Amino acid sequence: MNSAVNKPVLLTVDDDPGVSRAVARDLRRRYGEGHRVVRASSGQEALEALRELKLRGEQVAAMLADYRMPEMNGIEFLEQAMDLFPRARRALLTAYADTDAAIQAINLVDVDHYLLKPWDPPEEKLYPVVDALIETWRGSGATAVEEIKIVGHRWSAPTYAARDFLARNAVPYRYYTIDEPEGRRLLEAAGADPTEIPVVITTDGQALLAPSDARIASAVGLTVDPATDFYDLIVVGGGPAGLGSAVYGASEGLRTVLVERQAAGGQAGTSSRIENYLGFPDGVSGAQLTDRARRQAVKFGAEMLTARDVVALEVQGSARVVRFGDGSTISAHAVILATGVDYRSLMAPGCDDLTGRGVFYGSANTEAPECVGRDVYIVGGANSAGQAAVFFSRHARSVTLVVRGESLHSSMSHYLIQQLEAIENVHVRTCTTVGEASGDEHLEKIRLDHVDGATELVETSHLFIFIGAQPQTDWLDGVVERDERGFIWTGPDLLVDGERPAGWQLDRDPFYLESSVPGVFVAGDVRAQSVKRVASAVGEGAMAVTLVHRYLEEQ
Ligand SMILES: Cc1cc2nc3c(=O)[nH]c(=O)nc-3n(C[C@H](O)[C@H](O)[C@H](O)COP(=O)(O)OP(=O)(O)OC[C@H]3O[C@@H](n4cnc5c(N)ncnc54)[C@H](O)[C@@H]3O)c2cc1C
């Protein structure tokens, strides 16, 4: 990281090159150690420099502007500069003749000081003024923080998606809305207009306008490109099953790459508290658990690609080829499919339209601060919905679980039901579904339909959906055998009346976690008949690696 970035800037702008050099020289001599002196020869040039500093997250302590400059005078410059750095202190360089200008400046741009040219000796005429400017600036509480920034809007679905992507990848950022002054300043500095949100500003000052996940990922330093084109093992999916495979694969000497479409952690990464995972008697947040697993995989040498969507699997002789969304490919001796499941869409009218603008799938933890003092609704009766209810009850005024069934007992663990019963602001509405969602800019109302025909319109800005789970395996159609819902058959389940799957040419049955294609294994929730739990996904991930070894021995 550039150490100069942490030094507050003193900016001087003067169209006379001789004067400009002299000011900069005098400033450097006295303040060079603790400050960076930036010099410009016109108002436009200085504004450009300020925009760049803004994007880089640097701080400007003071600006010294000459009054008499062609095109843009010092006051006009300071007026615009204040839009970018309102806390930077301001001084105008004037000649005696310009007293009018001085008066105008007071009214317009709240100038702190006038410096009469020439200012020799600087010890008497320049430094006391600049000392005062810096002292006032320090007193204003401005501090330099280097961080990724997102500028967006509360009810913008792409803004939510970008924030969620960074949060799930454990990349810290600061969020600004375009309704607040600093958000508008950053937008201006990026040269963006409000239709181009979100704007993601990296620590080195790049401004990305409405970027894709992949663009954000590479700009913030996540690995998106494979280091080579051939591996021993490709793992598709970075949930607990994929992470389990990556840890065991890499630790047992296989050249392993894991490809994840969004963020390592999968569904488990979105769980606010996993209470039933072995070895964590006090529970553990899903993000913490899966982040440790990710680091463990990396420690053993697994490569982790983020924001890469696998769209095809091909068999080329003994190679198993995985194709990415952009058409590029990587190959390996063996593949483990660990792509898990996604939430089913709620088909009620209005939901599709309001997704990301009040309707959210999964826990959407980044929304927690927005829920303070509000009445939020959660659809679903399984553990994931129960955990979310516990989590949001700490933020919202009330949380209502909307459950289709007659009770939670058939779908939720006993310990969670007990926890929910003990929380005062959590309510459960059974035999009820969400019939419609409505709102203009964002979600405002939902209609609750009771099984007996009664309906009720309730006001809410947040609806979190945790219904059903479906595998996203259409891209494997015709490649591996799947059940009617898209879950992938493996091992003994592939044998029909003792017959091996069509096209199977090996002189043995498929191994326990092997698909209908030799060398392609399946672990976790995406596997037909699997147990939908973190522990079993991790276990299957590890076991699949053992079977990969067995398969490789045959080759
Ligand atoms: C909110 C919540 C709370 C839960 N709480 C618990 C709990 O307390 N205890 C418990 O045991 N279980 C819990 N579960 C269930 C548990 O999280 C899952 O059983 C487990 O995560 C399954 O792991 P997996 O690796 O098979 O799949 P997933 O976790 O679904 O991970 C699959 C990954 O593959 C990626 N992927 C999918 N398709 C592609 C593709 N084509 N290319 C690249 N990447 C792809 C996805 O982005 C995802 O990251 C919870 C689930 C949720 C949603």
- Give me the DSSP letters along 180-224: SHHHHHHHHHHT--GGG--EEE-TT--EEES--HHHHHHHTT---
DSSP state of 379: E
Query: Does residue 186 form part of some domain?
Result: yes
Give the pLDDT score at 114: 80
- Order across the sheet with 199-201: list the strands: 173-177, 148-152, 199-201, 207-209
Q: Which of 94, 113, 139 is the last residue of a domain?
A: 139
What tokens appear for 207 in the block?
């401004």
E-assigned strands of 130-198? 148-152, 173-177
Task: State the pairing for strand pair 310-316/455-459.
Answer: unpaired
523 Cβ neighbours under 8 A, 6+ residues apart? 241, 242, 244, 245, 336, 337, 338, 513, 537, 540, 541, 543, 544
Give the pLDDT score at 14: 94
pLDDT tens digits, 162-197: 999 998 888 888 899 999 999 999 999 999 999 999
Range(s) of the domain holding residue 449? 352-467
One domain for residues 338 and 483: yes
Contact 247, 269 (CB under 8 A): no
Instruction: Name the amino acid, one letter, at 528.
Output: A
| CA–CA separation, 362 and 384 (whole Å) | 8
Task: State the pairing for strand pair 207-209/199-201.
Answer: antiparallel
Average pLDDT on 462-488 reads 95
One domain for residues 215 and 94: no
Instruction: Name the amino acid, one letter, at 38.
Output: V
User: What is 472-500 written as a DSSP string?
Assistant: --GGGTTTS-B-TTSPBP-GGGG-BTTBP
% of the chain residues with pLDDT over 70: 96
pLDDT tens digits, 39-71: 999 999 999 999 999 998 889 999 999 988 998
Task: State the pairing for strand pair 310-316/319-324.
Answer: antiparallel
Token pair 């779908």 is found at 411
How far is the centre of ligand 1, averaged over its atoms, from the C-alpha of 341 (Å)?
Answer: 6
One domain for residues 437 and 491: no
Task: Report whether residue 57 contacts ligand 1, using a CB cutoff of 6 Å.
Answer: no
Query: Does residue 347 form part of some domain?
Result: no
One domain for residues 264 and 194: no
Contact 305, 330 (CB under 8 A): no
pLDDT tens digits, 82-110: 888 988 999 888 876 666 766 666 667 77
Length reported for the chain: 555
Query: Does residue 4 form part of some domain?
Result: no
One domain for residues 337 and 476: yes
How far is the centre of ligand 1, averaged over its atoms, from the C-alpha of 66 (Å)?
Answer: 61
One domain for residues 475 and 330: yes
One domain for residues 111 and 158: no
Q: Ligand 1: which of 344, 470, 534 to mutate, judged by most atoms within 8 Å of the beta carbon?
A: 534
Instruction: Report cis status (omega within 30 of 0) of the bond before 118.
Output: yes
Domain count, the chain: 4
| CA–CA separation, 225 and 392 (whole Å) | 37
One domain for residues 177 and 321: no
Query: Does residue 426 form part of some domain?
Result: yes
CATH code (residue 73): 3.40.50.2300
Tell me how far apart the terminal alpha carbons of the chain are, to the nearest angstrom. 48
One domain for residues 99 and 204: no
CATH code (residue 153): 3.40.30.10
To 5 degrees, how large is the angle CA 341–CA 344–CA 345?
145
CATH code (residue 459): 3.50.50.60
Give the pLDDT score at 2: 45
pLDDT tens digits, 411-440: 999 999 999 999 999 999 999 999 999 999
Contact 300, 487 (CB under 8 A): no
Task: Report whether residue 471 contacts ligand 1, using a CB cutoff of 6 Å.
Answer: no
One domain for residues 29 and 133: yes
Contact 434, 442 (CB under 8 A): no
Ligand 1 atom nearest residue 541's Cα: 25
Q: Is the pLDDT of residue 468 over 80?
A: no
How far is the centre of ligand 1, averaged over its atoms, from the C-alpha of 264 (Å)?
Answer: 10
Query: Does residue 3 form part of some domain?
Result: no
Query: Does residue 225 form part of some domain?
Result: no
Using pLDDT thresholds of 50, 70 and 90, give the confidence band for residue 469.
confident
Q: If residue 259 lies in a helix (H) or strand (E), which one and from where to where?
A: strand 256-259
Instruction: Name the amino acid, one letter, at 382.
Output: A
pTM for the whole structure: 0.80
Give the pLDDT score at 289: 92
What average pLDDT is seen over the chain?
Answer: 92
One domain for residues 474 and 463: no
CA distances from 270 to 131, 209, 214, 262, 387 (A): 50, 27, 20, 12, 10
One domain for residues 461 and 367: yes
How far is the centre of ligand 1, averaged over its atoms, from the C-alpha of 228 (Å)?
Answer: 27
Pick from 357, 337, 401: which is nearest to 375 by CA? 401
Q: Which of 78, 109, 139 is the last residue of a domain?
A: 139
pLDDT tens digits, 443-460: 999 999 999 999 999 999
Q: Which of 406, 437, 467 is the last residue of a domain?
A: 467
pLDDT tens digits, 12-39: 999 998 888 999 999 999 999 999 999 9
Query: Does residue 257 form part of some domain?
Result: yes
pLDDT tens digits, 236-283: 999 999 999 999 999 999 999 999 999 999 999 988 888 889 988 888
Give the pLDDT score at 113: 82
Query: Does residue 97 form part of some domain?
Result: yes
Ligand 1, atom 12, lies closest to the CA of: 533
pLDDT tens digits, 201-240: 998 889 999 999 999 999 988 999 999 999 999 999 999 9
